[in-house]
Amino acid sequence: MFCGIVAGEVPAFRVVDEADGVAFLDTRPVFKGHVLVVPRTHLVTLADLPPEALPGYFRLVQRLAVAVEIGLGAGGTFVAMNNKVSQSVPHLHTHVVPRTKGDGLRGFFWPRTRYADDAEARSYAERVAAALTGP
């Protein structure tokens, strides 16, 4: 599924598409504005990411963490990655979840929510993309 998003064959609310990776909204977000970051190449786990790709990929994750805070007015972010266990899609991906004090997120028991419609989802993707700084 993520390979289809990277290739542009599967629709997604893209935040950024760069050489180091693609970021798009999670369709079942923990909180609205929850972004998934994936490498352009199909890899299953972090261990599969070539060492030379680490700086670019994690710089993109870092930039998105800042963009989520600024773009959505979040108090912080939760950045996480599952490898194999609890990895719902077998494609390396990093979660960037907006956080606010008292948001109710405890441990790894993630309640899920939905966007009201495509327009609301698009507005979240656009706000994060607008806050994204250079490469």
For 5, list phi and psi in degrees, rounded to 5: -65, -45
Candidate list 34, 91, 93, 95, residue with the active-site label: 93
Q: Is 95 a catalytic residue?
A: no
Q: Is the dihedral of CA 118, 26, 76, 113 positive or negative?
A: positive
DSSP-derived 3-state class of residue 59: helix
**Angle 51-53-59 from CA coordinates, rounded to 5°:** 115
48 token code pair = 């599969």
2 token code pair = 């993520």
Residues annotated as part of the active site: 93
